[in-house]
Amino acid sequence: MTALLTILCIALIAIIAIQIGKVTELASKIRGEEDMQEIVNRRNGNYSLVFMVVFLVACIISAGYYKNYMLGYGPHESASEHGKTLDSLFNITLFFTAIVFFLTQAALFYYAFKYRGARGRKPLYLPHDNKLEIIWTAIPAVVMTFLVVGGLDAWNDVMADIAPGEDFTEIEGTGYQFAWHLRYPGPDGKLGTRNFKLISGANPLGQDWTDEKNLDDLHPSEVVLPVNKKVRVRITARDVLHNFYLPHFRVKMDAVPGMPTYFIFTPTKTTEEYRQELSNYPEYQVPDPNDLEKMRWETFNYELACAELCGTGHYSMRRLVRIVSEEEYKAWLSQQQSYFLSSIRGTEDDPYKNELLDIEVKQRKLEFSDAIQKAIDATDAKEKLLRLNYVYFDAGAAKLTELSRYELDNLAESLNKYPNMTIEVGGHTDNTGDAAQNLTLSSERARAVKDYLVGKGIAASRLQAVGYGQNQPADTNDTEAGREKNRRTEFKILTQ
Amino acid sequence: MANAANNPMSEEDILIKEQGYDDHFHDHHHGDKYQSNFITTYIFSQDHKIIARQFLITGMIWAIIGGLMSLIFRLQLGFPAEDMAWLKPILGRWITLNEAGLGSIAPEFYYAMVTMHGTIIVFFVLTAGLSGTFSNLLIPLQVGARDMASPFLNMLSYWFFFLAGVVMFISLFLSTGPFSGGWTAYPPLSALPQASTGSGAGMTLWLISLVLFVVSVLLGGINYVTTVLNLRTKGMTMWRMPLTIWAFFVTAILGILSFPVLASGFFLLVFDRGLGTSFFLNEIYIGGQALDHVGGSPVLYQHLFWFLGHPEVYIIILPAMGLVSEVLSVHARKPIFGYKAMVYSILAIAFLSFIVWAHHMFMSGVNPFISNFFVVFTLIIAVPSAVKVFNWIATLYGGNVRFTAASLFAIGFVSMFISGGLTGIFLGNSAIDIQLHDTYFVVAHFHIVMGVAAFFGMFAGVYQWFPKMFGRFMNESLGRIHFWGTLVGAYAIFWPMHYLGMAGVPRRYYKFDVFESFGQFATMNKFITIAAIFVFALQILFVINFFYSIWKGKKMTTKNPWGASTLEWTTPINTGHGNWEGNIPTVHRWPYDYGKDGKDYISQIQPLSEGEKDGGDH
């Protein structure tokens, strides 16, 4: 309906316009062409003047109106160190161009008005004026030189890569259709190598898991950075061109498949500080349309966007960016789990399936020594019974799995530490299968553990191996979870 | 001379007869074998004036299509929540309906419209429609030639353009839609059909169309350059050529040097798409699959593209500048101020336009060091551009300005060129470009400086030379309404976009509500869309005026209605094939003797009086 009305309005205007055209043509016939032209000149000369005034005033008023949304003014000062330089360059350029803009636009329309044609006016024969031309060639040349020097000085500063020995955090942003995938180095501070041929659903960045640097890398879902610390963003793309764009930080760089780029910046305001600054402006003291409970300044967030056309979802590649204090950053970082450990470990893609990573070995050792210390300190005999959590056998056999040795090595170490300690190793099974066979199996399994420990140099006399079969279940045998708990190897500290 | 019996010979006719150069044209004129029937006269014509009209009308049709496309995507940007179901009868499945029956424009279609709008306006309208029309019309007429150096190649130039248009038009109706990866067609998006539906058959047709278009530009360009260099009439030295001719001449050289580079980029892209090469592709994982392409660089394509792409903006704006210089001078009744400075500015701009291409690529991952050179050369262009602006303003100064639709559009051109040119100083400075690159600030900049300004130059040219093309005038009142409405409307569309850009809003976004930072300008976007609809309606007014005037416009009764000194106005009102019926006029002076020695104007064919210095010699 609105559309129909609009079309009708336009048609009406067109018809009126054509009639006006006809009428004025008629008028010029009646009045004579020259008279008519003079009227037209006077009228359009006046229009020129009016347009000039309205246009220039509208420029100033609209700029004032939108001041608090724009770069470098009001609350939207840059939130990064280099951004302040860019903002001031912008303003210097604006200063010079505004002068030229107002002078030339005013002269253009004013001259059109002032020298509107009139019968009898003798136009000036002025083909050129060398002095004038030299002046107005020289002035822009000088101003341009000034702007170029300032611009290039800033540019080379901003774009310089990290100097050797400089302290910085490196993160990585990878664009794909249609999102950003973020990667942080883990405690080692280094990002691992990638190979696009390794990319799969489980390995979105094609990280090479045989590279140890990859194992602790994090894949957080938002960009969190400490304030006042230099960041180098390594920018890559997986499929087509993207552009890593952080508007509040004046950061923008294409993400190119096969060619990593970078951008270095230092955030200077935390999200909270930026919100506080916004709160001083009336534009932000209104309820947020998406969350009426809060003011707009309260819901403000930094954002990461894409600024290079990458397909139909180009407009939707948003990630949240939070700038926090150093302490908050550390706290956040410690909560993040390595992508490898959370999503790859133990799956088909895990190249370390049959070995433990150093970090896991360390962790289990700690766990074991804590447990055994507790058992030694305990007085209650029940608490001197410990389960060997990571000792497993091949199904239906008494052959220790490869990974069991780590736990048994921990046990051997403790036995060496306490030379007077003697233990009983007990084998248990669940109730599936024949009870007599289970008993034999559990004895053989206990024996296998004993043999392993003896192989590690522990005197056989300190070790007793006992098979309990299915007679001492630790949990119900009715559920799989319960049965799993019942299939176990334990040891009891006899003397210490 | 058919009319000689009725009209007494004017002073000018006598001059041409007595002083002109006799090339024995008359001996061959009987039974023009090149224009013997309707088809050879109006369709496969080799007459530059007919070809000019063909370029103009084809360009206008494309401008309407391109403009309508912009309205479609502006509707999406201005009224993202509004029901678009009413467009479904026209756009079919590109309008998707939700459960409630509310229609919205599909994102693929939005991007296809953005892409086609850019391609069509840049190449088909502002290159072919502008330079094709006026180079063809004015070069032979203003240098005093019977026709182009090769009328046959000239005809082919139009028909290759026509064919390019046909192919592009067909691509609009593909089931996968036309190409949708931006008019710059950056790979890998443009190279991989799996990256976007428009990158399939749509992109194939896009490439074919533009390769045909390159052929058209080259055939035309070779002709323009040859004609200007070899077919100038006696006395028409280079320094006596009107600025229009200088502009067309330099534009043609730019086209000849840069379009083949674009074509080479397109060919490599075709190879990457079809033959499994990897010129522009490297380490890509897409659609669940790692591709075999390795070793190429997407940035290489950008270099090849912008090696044309930057000169291209001058291919668009230089002809407009030439037309505006001529129109301003004629209607201010004053010589163009600083003729030689204007010529040198054109040459300087043209030369510099070849060494600034990477300023489109500051943020594309090229070595930041190399950007230093491109910043310097880019900002140097501001100097000749500023000189031109000052000279245009100085041309108005002290004039006796006759306001016609043509002169108004010429003044409007200068205003637009100032507004859009100044923002180029921000963008050309790489440090500031970090923030502004690919935001609406860029959209505002190039639309004002090479979109609206070039259109204004074109309108000035159409209103000015319409009588030469059709023997009738366009309606002046409608022309002036067209001008004032478009001037105000165009600023209303593009001025606010500066603020969007300064707020960081990126271009080529289907909608803004995903981001808090970009979603605050709904009112402004609505305003821009309404202004765009208003401006488009005014252009329809122009089209109505144009076609109405071809048949019903006020008839031309004198040969030289504007009192201009250039040669085209010495030809008969109904200019036939060969342009002058008898001798070709001989030129004795520069083209800008307006208001000299108390005379309103002195035609170029007037011999210098005793002791008079040619106005161009300074």
Residue of A nearest to B194 (CA): A239
Residue partners of B128: CB distance under 8 A and separation at least 6: B55, B58, B59, B161, B213, B216, B217
Model confidence at A261: pLDDT above 60: yes
Tokens, residue A141: 């040349």
Q: Look-up: residue for tokens 């007599």?
A: A436
**Between B146 and A402, whose confidence is greater?**
B146
d(CA B389, CA B453) in angstroms, rounded, equals 13
Partners of residue A58 in chain B, C-beta under 8 Å: 495
Percent of chain B at pLDDT above 70? 96
pLDDT band at B30 (very low <50, low <70, confident <90, very high): low
Model confidence at A370: pLDDT above 80: yes
d(CA A362, CA B522) in angstroms, rounded, equals 57
Least confident range from A23-32, A280-289, A309-318, B520-529: namely A23-32
B57 interfaces chain A, CB cutoff of 8 Å = no
Using alpha carbons, select from B339, B291, B322 the residue that is nearest to residue B188.
B291
Count the alpha carbons within 13 Å of B607 in the hemisphere toward its beta carbon.
Answer: 9
Using alpha carbons, select from A210, A208, A172, A175 the residue that is nearest to residue A193.
A208
Tokens, residue B534: 């208003």
Q: What was the pLDDT predicted at B33?
A: 61
For every residue of B175-199, DSSP letters joined together read TT-S--STTTT-TTTTT-GGG-GGG
Using alpha carbons, select from A262, A239, A263 the residue that is nearest to residue A249.
A263
Q: Which of A43, A137, A256 sits opposite B383 (nearest CB)?
A: A137
Are the C-beta atoms of A58 and A115 separated by less than 8 Å?
no
Least confident range from A13-17, A198-202, A449-453, B322-326: namely A13-17
Model confidence at B16: pLDDT above 60: yes
| pLDDT tens, position by position, B93-152 | 899 888 888 889 999 999 999 999 999 999 999 999 999 999 999 999 999 999 999 999
Count the alpha carbons within 13 Å of B166 in the hemisphere toward its beta carbon.
Answer: 7
d(CA B113, CA B94) in angstroms, rounded, equals 11
Q: Return the amino acid letter for B96.
A: T
Judge: B298–A121 Cβ closer than 8 Å, yes or no.
Answer: no
Judge: A136–B386 Cβ closer than 8 Å, yes or no.
Answer: yes
| pLDDT tens, position by position, A266-284 | 999 999 999 999 999 988 8
d(CA A324, CA B184) in angstroms, rounded, equals 39
Least confident range from A317-321, A381-385, B154-158: namely A381-385
Judge: A59–B495 Cβ closer than 8 Å, yes or no.
Answer: yes
Rg (CA), chain A: 39
A&B contacts, CB < 8 Å: 378
Name the DSSP class of B558: S
Question: Which H or E run includes A76?
Answer: none
Are the C-beta atoms of B328 and B392 separated by less than 8 Å?
yes
Q: Look-up: residue for tokens 């790692």?
A: B290
Q: Which of residues 324-363 of B touch A (CB under 8 A)?
A: 332-341, 363
> Could you tell me the pTM of the whole model?
0.90
CA distance A325 to chain B (A): 23
Q: Return the amino acid letter for A387.
A: R
Beta bridge partners of A75: none
d(CA B469, CA A217) in angstroms, rounded, equals 71
Mean pLDDT of chain A: 90
Are the C-beta atoms of A218 and A184 separated by less than 8 Å?
yes
Mean pLDDT of A59-88: 88
Q: Which residues of A359-382 are buried (b: 16+ CB within 10 A; e: fewer)?
A: ebeeebeeebeeebeebeeeeeee
Are the C-beta atoms of A148 and B376 separated by less than 8 Å?
yes
d(CA B129, CA A361) in angstroms, rounded, equals 75
CA distance A187 to chain B (A): 29
CA distance B560 to chain A (A): 15
Judge: B332–A123 Cβ closer than 8 Å, yes or no.
Answer: yes
Model confidence at B4: pLDDT above 50: no
d(CA A249, CA A82) in angstroms, rounded, equals 8
Query: Three-state SS for B103?
Result: strand
Q: What was the pLDDT predicted at B3?
A: 43
Are the C-beta atoms of B414 and B324 separated by less than 8 Å?
yes
Q: Which of residues 366-405 of B touch A (CB under 8 A)?
A: 368-369, 371-372, 375-376, 379-380, 382-383, 386-387, 389-394, 396-403
Judge: B418–A241 Cβ closer than 8 Å, yes or no.
Answer: no
Residue of B nearest to A96 (CA): B422
CA distance A283 to chain B (A): 11
Question: Which H or E run includes B352?
Answer: helix B339-352
CA B88 to chain CA centroid, Å, is 33
Name the DSSP class of B575: -
Partners of residue A109 in chain B, C-beta under 8 Å: 411, 415
Are the C-beta atoms of A112 and B401 separated by less than 8 Å?
yes
Partners of residue B398 in chain A, C-beta under 8 Å: 115, 123-124, 126
Judge: B504–A71 Cβ closer than 8 Å, yes or no.
Answer: yes
Q: Which of A100, A124, A176 sits opposite B422 (nearest CB)?
A: A100
CA distance B159 to chain A (A): 33
pLDDT band at A288 (very low <50, low <70, confident <90, very high): confident
Partners of residue B189 in chain A, C-beta under 8 Å: 240-241, 309-311
CA B314 to chain CA centroid, Å, is 9
| pLDDT tens, position by position, B429-471 | 999 999 999 999 999 999 999 999 999 999 999 999 999 999 9
Q: What was the pLDDT predicted at B1?
A: 37
Judge: B401–A112 Cβ closer than 8 Å, yes or no.
Answer: yes
Are the C-beta atoms of A245 and A252 separated by less than 8 Å?
yes
Percent of chain A at pLDDT above 90? 50
**Between B578 and B227, whose confidence is greater?**
B227
